[in-house]
Amino acid sequence: MTNGGDPARTLALLWRDEAAIPRRGPRRGLSLDQVVDAAIAVADAEGLAVLSIRRVAQALDTSPMTLYTHVPGKAELLDLMIDSAYARMPRTGTAGRPWREKLTAVAADNRTLFRDHPWTIAVSTQRPALGPGALGKYEHELAALDGLGLTDVQMDDCLTYLLLFVHAAARTEHEARVVREATAMTDEQWWAAAGPVLGRLVDPDAFPLASRVGAAAGEAHGSAYEPEHVYEFGLGRVLDGVALVLPRHT
Amino acid sequence: MTNGGDPARTLALLWRDEAAIPRRGPRRGLSLDQVVDAAIAVADAEGLAVLSIRRVAQALDTSPMTLYTHVPGKAELLDLMIDSAYARMPRTGTAGRPWREKLTAVAADNRTLFRDHPWTIAVSTQRPALGPGALGKYEHELAALDGLGLTDVQMDDCLTYLLLFVHAAARTEHEARVVREATAMTDEQWWAAAGPVLGRLVDPDAFPLASRVGAAAGEAHGSAYEPEHVYEFGLGRVLDGVALVLPRHT
DNA sequence: GCCCTACTCTGTACACTGTACAACGTGAAC
DNA sequence: GTTCACGTTGTACAGTGTACAGAGTAGGGC
């Protein structure tokens, strides 16, 4: 999705490198920040699927091709959007608190990011666009793992693992909401439509465990996936897993 | 991505409901399985981004609109593709082995699925298309958690948690490969291009932890994300986390 | 054996995407 | 004052899912 072209060009944009801005020609009618902010506004309000160059240009009351003088392409625009979202996301201060609280706060901050800007869930973070936002985020999150007796590599491992979980949980939660809105059907309505047909087509005795456990899980949390429960259960297991890596298991 | 229209219609297709096949009209030149298999072949070979109704029709040497007599739309086609992949994925037998081995095998089988059919990573599994493949998969995976003293709800929780991790790990691994191929650049080449520019633009003292830990992690596993390491480390933590849920911690 | 009609197959059409390209006007540097 | 780098813009291309309408086919009822 992202990672468009020349890394050097993208970095110059991310860090607003003054050496890269041209000295000749007409004045620009728009600043880079205006373009990025408009793109974020569109993505927030209407989703990544609706985000298009034409749509952003429309929001800025200019022509689509004008944007290409500010940004090399859509991929780089996404890089800039992500870094801007990183720079503005919450960074809860937890200095002096127990490590479990610190990591819970890091997870919560990331969850807030994914909820406020669901489009961040879908863009790749491989070869991250290392802008000021991404670096500030990484620095802040590493602080939660500092001083626990972990090696540098272990700190990175644990953080990667934690964020992998939060990202995945946010993705399923977001998918659930998208499906609900796209089908204009709650899970209850969906099951009401699917259940009887399923009952007619499939023999429960052929899938005894699936029938029993599926029914129990469906009854426990409202019918299907309960994102809140997935997150709470998962985060608990993640922290338990990390605890065993710490020199003093606390 | 998936979850198109009428659940009843989709279920009838998934279970190949004979009551739903029409009795009148000309003979069809194609079977549903041919359509699904052709779509899977295209997605395997060329990726989900290239998978289009026109492309599948071309592979079957027919016209695009013909496919719509077999399948209501692209969403339902994806449901059918997924269920077919589920039905054919490996199900390693681990009866009588310790629970850790069982869950490791479940994770490995899913990882194999995601590697053999990377497009399965990107399609939503919310409100899963409950076809024979999905049910068989669920039944088999629950067996790995049976008899450990867990409640039904806990069995579902632990399985969901494990699969969430494998899915997320597979996603980052796949993204890394896509980025590498799309940019025609190895991570080393990318860093060689980005590193010096980054060094010129950013002051390491402003991000002390990030600089130190990032460098250590980059040096430990080749430059950036090492998917194999992420998987091994993560799976270990997942199993440690699950262990504490078991009545007898073993 | 015949007809009706449910069905399959297909070409065309619409609104949408990212962005290459070329033409035109602007304004800073020499 | 001239030059030419640069910003702005309209048009164009190849692609997407699928609605719709027309044409041809064959099973069920008589």
Task: Say if the Cβ atoms of B237 and A238 lie within 8 Å.
Answer: yes
**Residue B150 contacts by C-beta under 8 Å, 6 or more apart in sequence?**
B158, B245, B246, B247
Q: Which of B11, B190, B213 sits opposite A127 (nearest CB)?
A: B190
For position A29, what pLDDT does the model report?
86
Measured in whole angstroms, how far is the alpha carbon of residue A204 from the centre of its chain?
A: 38
The angle, 0 to 180 degrees and rounded to 10, between the axes of the packed helices B208-220 and A152-183 is 90
**d(CA A250, nearest CA chain B) in Å:** 14
Model pLDDT, residue A50: 93
DSSP A133-144: HHHHHHHHHHHT
Domain A94-243 has CATH 1.10.3720.10: no
Amino acid letter, A38: A
> What gap in Å lies between CA B79 and CA B8, rounded to an integer?
13
Range with lowest mean pLDDT among A168-177, A210-219, A241-250, B131-140 = A241-250
| Chain B residues within an 8 Å CB radius of A212 | 152
Å separating the CA of residue B54 from the C1' of nucleotide D19: 16
Q: Is B45's Cβ below 8 Å from some Cβ in A?
A: no
Look at residue B8 in the predicted model and tell me its pLDDT: 87
Q: Alpha helix locations (H) across chain B?
A: 7-14, 32-46, 53-59, 74-88, 99-116, 119-122, 132-143, 152-183, 187-201, 208-220, 227-243
Angle between helices A99-116 and A227-243 (to 10 degrees): 140
Q: Which residues 35-64 in chain A have a CB closer than 7 A to strand C?
A: 50-55, 64
In chain A, domain spans: 7-86, 94-243
Q: Determine which of A208-222, B25-39, B76-90, B233-247 has the lowest per-residue pLDDT on average.
A: A208-222
A146 vs B195, higher pLDDT: A146
pLDDT at A224: 57
Q: What is the CATH number of domain B93-243?
A: 1.10.357.10
Tokens of B116: 């053999």
For residue A62, give every residue at least 6 positions away whose Cβ sits within 8 Å of its Cβ, in sequence order, or none: A29, A30
Q: Is residue B158 a contact partner of residue B150, using CB atoms and an 8 Å limit? A: yes
Q: How confident is the model at residue A144 (pLDDT cuts 50, 70, 90)?
A: very high
B195 exposed, middle or buried (CB, 10 Å; 0-12, 13-18, 19+)?
A: middle
- The answer to whether residue A179 scores a pLDDT higher than 90 is no
Q: Write the DSSP assignment of B178-213 as a string of letters.
A: HHHHHHT--HHHHHHHHHHHHHHH--GGGSHHHHHH
B14 pLDDT above the threshold of 90 = yes
Q: Distance between CA atoms of B146 and A160, rounded to whole angstroms?
A: 31
Residue A102, token pair as written in the block: 């610190």
In sequence order, the 6+-apart residues with CB closer than 8 A to the CB of B241 are: A236, A237, A238, A240, A241, B161
Residues 6+ apart with CB under 8 A from B8: A193, A194, A197
- Name the protein residue, with chain letter, whose CA is nearest the C1' of C29: A24
The pLDDT confidence band at residue A1, using thresholds 50, 70 and 90, is very low
Average pLDDT, chain A: 90
CA–CA distance, A28 with A56 (Å, rounded to integer): 17
Contact between the CB of B25 and strand D at under 7 Å: yes
DSSP label at residue B73: S
Distance CA B139, CA B137 (A): 5
The CA distance from A35 to the nearest CA of chain B, in Å, is 22
**Confidence band for B224, pLDDT divided at 50, 70 and 90:** low
Across A42-56, average pLDDT? 95
- Give DSSP secondary structure letters for A145-207: TTTSS--HHHHHHHHHHHHHHHHHHHHHHHHHHHHHHHHT--HHHHHHHHHHHHHHH--GGGS
Of A103, A216, A197, A53, nearest to B6 (Cα)?
A197
**Nearest of A172, A170, A152 to residue A162 by alpha carbon:** A170
Identify the CA nearest to B119 among candidates B52, B64, B183: B52
What confidence score (pLDDT) does residue B4 get?
Answer: 59
Q: CATH fold of A7-86, please?
A: Arc Repressor Mutant, subunit A (1.10.10)
Indicate the pLDDT class of residue B188, thresholds 50, 70 and 90: confident
Percentage, residues of chain B above pLDDT 70: 96
For residues A161 and A98, what is the distance between their CA atoms, to the nearest angstrom? 19
Tell the burial category of A8 from Cβ atoms under 10 Å away from its Cβ (0-12, 13-18, 19+).
middle
Mutate to test the interface with A, among B1, B2, B10, B11 (most CBs of A within 10 A): B11
Say which amino acid occupies B226.
E
Q: Tell if the CB–CB gap between A210 and B138 is shorter than 8 Å.
A: yes
Residues in contact with A99: Cβ distance below 8 Å, sequence separation at least 6, in sequence order: A144, A145, A148, A246, A250
